[in-house]
Structure 1
């Protein structure tokens, strides 16, 4: 492959993937991004201009999508509305981007016979009980619980239908919760890190017992690249790094690593319908495609992430006041 179109490449996990491609392959990368509040052009600074181009546009715009897909050897579709709280207050952007946008891309790759990889989430499976030993697998039934996760589930099903009905060359990956550089500070881990750096008391939803299966964004990037190169067409792969931790443990670890008392936080009102636990069984990806994560120690990954936000205050400080004002209005 020579020309890779990455949708949503100015967002969190998309920008990490762009840097991964530019640092580890010889591919040329074109990013299509609507540049909503969750995107940040600073996340792509330093990209080689001879191998990189940023195009501002909507993935639901058929004309711009077709003009880019026709010149691409592969499309990696990261673009999505992804914040659960926002989907509860206004689901409409999630319908437009996650469903209509995915449909538009699928029609383009069908027209130009282009390789397609679809980025999804473990949230499409719903949640698990805290004491359930099970983990999500590629055959777990979908049971989404929010407008966000339901639109991502719908987009996955569109991909599967286009594979079966039209024979497009597509794969899907469902990944656990990402953390790492370039993540918007409205999200749990960077919000707490930047709170400490800003002298603001960190916040914890409810009792903090909800469990997430954490993976560093660089490991997600290497997994997607592995699937793009080695994955079987029509197949779904789950991406995880065995990083299950509940929210209160994550917050206490952040505080300890940043030299703060582990109880230096305050509880805030919980999110409506907050899923209890996610857990990924990523064994198929490891056994069939030979992928392994770099950050097998979650605390080491957190330390790396804390250092990045400490060193890149100019990336997140302009966003901080607005984000905290929004949370304060919601009592969080």
Structure 2
């Protein structure tokens, strides 16, 4: 038996593979096209594990995916493959359309052809798990109820619009063709191996380098923060026990403003890596012009997965963020390897010199 993981060299995908192999001996086949955010160094600890195989492939390459499915005959596909950064989608939306919409469509078509040729028992047991985001629901006012699985889609960026489209494709393939799909919509993830364009690793990296810690607008945009390993545990549970055709929201019940998150990071760094002469890291915080269409608040109601599948996050924000800071402090070689010249050029263009 084997599972296919697409986008398994990215942040959440690589953590999922590592977490999977800690709990299962089932073979994992990792398909990743290795864009800037795909990093096989994330999986160096299992590179020689007989249960793990890597194949460089793009989910949009229908013929190659169809061949791989026929060759390896997985019992499940877990689809992490996506362009995922809102800022990059504003500057270059076409990559998001191609990967998140066209790529998902071609992956579904290859999967449908493969699934139709399985035995009745194998068809019954097969699953396609698609990982999406809370951003498809748009923005919330300060006192609005958190997003649930029935919330209306109202995406406000090219990224979230492309993910919303992929979610709709999953729903259509289940209702039209009977494909046994599962969709999850998660809140903001954080933890080890996150590419430092996202808020938490960016600020840790800049803080240690003595650079500004940029916050959009007033920094009071609110997000629900989910430790990545809690997310991975939830995904394993959805794959094992989720009902085909269903959607499950996964959140950490940790609503924090971006400013509060960065203040927390600075306090932990003040303790673990103090600056000279009594300086404090929060002195490096700056505010930059807000990005276009910036959603003000996200929040996830995860009561469905908590009630039906008995999942709960293991980490509080306090415990998870401390683990995250310690990981980045202890893995500076990894950070240096991923922060290439191209990355630095992009940060300068996005936030200013």
TM tier relative to shorter chain = over 0.9
Tell me which moved more, 321-330 or 218-227: 321-330
Q: 2:66 — aligned with what? A: 66
Map 1:166-177; keep pairs closer than 5 Å: 166-177=177-188
Map 1:18-29; keep pairs closer than 5 Å: 18-29=17-28
Q: 2:9 — aligned with what? A: 10
Select 2:224's aligned residue among 202, 206, 213: 213
Q: Gapped runs of 5+ residues in structure 1?
A: none
Map 1:79-158; keep pairs closer than 5 Å: 79-113=81-115, 114-129=126-141, 131-158=142-169
Map 1:200-239; keep pairs closer than 5 Å: 200-239=211-250
Select 1:268's aligned residue among 288, 294, 317: 288
Matched, 1:310 2:321: no
Matched, 1:246 2:257: yes
Matched, 1:288 2:300: no
Tell me which moved more, 281-290 or 41-50: 41-50
Q: Gapped runs of 5+ residues in structure 2?
A: 116-125, 271-279
Task: Give, in angstroms, the shift of residue 197 of structure 1.
Answer: 1.9
Q: 2:41 — aligned with what? A: 42
**Which structure shows the higher helix fraction?**
2
Moved over 6 A (4+): none
For residues 64-112 of structure 1, what are the alpha-carbon distances to aligned partners after superposition, in whole Å with 9 as ceiling and x for unaligned? 2112223111000000001111111111111111011111111122122
Task: Give, in angstroms, the shift of residue 263 of structure 1.
Answer: 4.1
TM-score by length of 1: 0.96
Give the distance between the partners of 1:157 and 1:96, measured in 2 at CA.
16
